[in-house]
């Protein structure tokens, strides 16, 4: 059994994960409009991962006998001035998600909800990877700049991200 308080927090986290997917699809839209299909592909794959995170939590809750309900998904950030904008917003968003996961984990530990705390270990590790990837993307774009052949090659690199 998991505590009702943690179940409620995890249901809210599902919505945050689905919102993440929505945000990343918006980033993909932006990159498509800027003729950067590799960047768009990277974020479409990322959106799929966020959906999978939401579904992992949903499944955990259902297995624990909880009823899962969804909330409306919030709006997204739009109107970027250049290719760096979504990357920086992506890192900021991943840091927000990490803080949310950590808050749930800390609450689960304090409530001695060991099942939920154990379940959240995967997400804690995953968020470390997500933040690292987001920062690496920023670092790569800072290195190559916002135009020219190097940007073209970076776009090709991002296009090779596997689903």
Average confidence score pLDDT of the chain: 97
Q: Domain locations in the chain?
A: 4-159
Cβ contact 97:155 at 8 Å: no
What are the angstrom distances between the C-alpha of 38 and each of 29, 122, 163? 12, 28, 13
| pLDDT tens digits, 19-28 | 999 999 999 9
Which pLDDT band holds residue 147 (cuts at 50, 70, 90)?
Answer: confident
Which pLDDT band holds residue 77 (cuts at 50, 70, 90)?
Answer: confident
pTM (whole model) above 0.75: yes
| pLDDT tens digits, 103-119 | 999 999 999 999 999 99
Per CATH, the architecture of 4-159 is what? Up-down Bundle (1.20)
């Amino acid at each position: 059994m998991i505590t009702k308080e943690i179940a409620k927090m995890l249901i809210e986290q599902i919505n945050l994960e689905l919102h993440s997917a929505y945000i990343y699809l918006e980033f993909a839209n932006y990159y498509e409009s800027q003729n950067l299909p590799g960047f768009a592909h990277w974020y479409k794959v990322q959106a799929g991962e966020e959906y999978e995170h939401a579904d992992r939590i949903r499944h955990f809750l259902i297995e624990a006998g909880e009823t899962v309900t969804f909330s409306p998904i919030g709006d997204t950030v739009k109107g970027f001035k250049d290719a760096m904008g979504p990357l920086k917003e992506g890192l900021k968003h991943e840091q927000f998600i990490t803080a949310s996961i950590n808050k749930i984990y800390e609450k689960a530990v304090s409530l001695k909800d060991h099942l939920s705390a154990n379940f959240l270990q995967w997400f804690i590790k995953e968020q470390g990877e997500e933040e690292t990837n987001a920062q690496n993307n920023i670092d790569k774009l800072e290195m190559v700049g916002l135009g020219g052949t190097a940007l073209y090659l970076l776009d090709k690199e991002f296009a090779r991200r596997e689903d």
